[in-house]
Structure 1
């Protein structure tokens, strides 16, 4: 086992011991896709692409902070919105890394969250970028790049193969039994 696998296994054990899948995944926390689909070459390739795009997101976020810091150090005014946006992008990207990690391990909830955020964040980002005067031009470009990278993640997650690999979990039989028995009592 290489160092990366050992670190990933240790992180996974700690994550499970703290029951963070239950907190983050709710009712679907334990639903994991079949191992054959997790190890399928197209699934593996998709997650490699997602990791590269997330690395791009990280570079974009760090570059924005670097540019803002350089401008500020030269005495130029850097709006609070730039600092806020730059910090938020890094926190969002960190959460997306976690979702990608858990999804790659087969957790449906993480795939679902990553897919949802890859649809919502580009829309919100592009709408906010159009607010006149909120950001300097370079930050608007940063937001467009961020959005394009997020759209790329969304494209990888919504291929036919990935949707087949991560089917929506069926409703729990226990919940249906409760509804059925409740209807029977009401009749």
Structure 2
């Protein structure tokens, strides 16, 4: 099975009408683009590692008799899945797909806001999870700053749609 064929189907789902938009290869192959996107991948790895650690902590606490609400479990699993999806986006952005870069920029701005805002709801999360959510938000803010660097914004300018043929 050709991975790129499957990826293009996922691209169509994730990118919608913008799934065919690609930035020029000289932009994605530029050493600065490669370095920044590698740093983005490192940040995503840190965020995902934190998510996994939080899930493991929840499992351990549950086994020790600490009752966690369904909202805690749902939030932990959903955040882990959403953070994992950023790996796909960075992979596609490294290959020049504009939609993936655009989605990463959007998600790394929205995820931290939602994470921190939900921490202000009294009693919703245990203290350890509030700390985890704030740390996750901090990591994603750094990733957002990398994605919004002058170089990447210039490299990933929205291209014109390909001519209908």
Normalization by structure 2: what TM-score?
0.92
Identify the residue that residue 182 of structure 1 maps to in structure 2: none
User: For 1:145 and 1:106, how far apart are their aligned partners in 2?
Assistant: 30
After superposition, where does 1:1-187 map in structure 2 within 5 Å?
Answer: 10-16=2-8, 19-170=9-160
Does structure 2 retain, via aligned residues, the 8 Å contact 1:28–1:169? Answer: no
Task: Choose between structure 1 and 2 for higher RCO, CA contacts under 8 A separated by at least 6 residues.
Answer: 2
Which runs of 5 or more structure 1 residues have no equivalent in the other structure?
A: 1-9, 175-187
Higher Cα Rg, which structure = 1
Compute the RMSD of aligned alpha carbons: 1.6
Normalization by structure 1: what TM-score?
0.82
Per-residue deviation at 1:171?
6.1
Per-residue deviation at 1:82?
1.6
Residues matched between the structures, number: 163
Per-residue deviation at 1:79?
2.0
User: For 2:163 and 2:91, how far apart are their aligned partners in 1?
Assistant: 29
Instruction: Extract structure 1 runs of 4+ deviating beyond 4 A.
Output: 171-174
User: For 1:120 and 1:151, how far apart are their aligned partners in 2?
Assistant: 10
Q: Deviations over 1:59-118 (max 9, x none)?
A: 111111111111111112222222111101111012111111111111001100110011
User: For 1:47 and 1:171, how far apart are their aligned partners in 2?
Assistant: 24
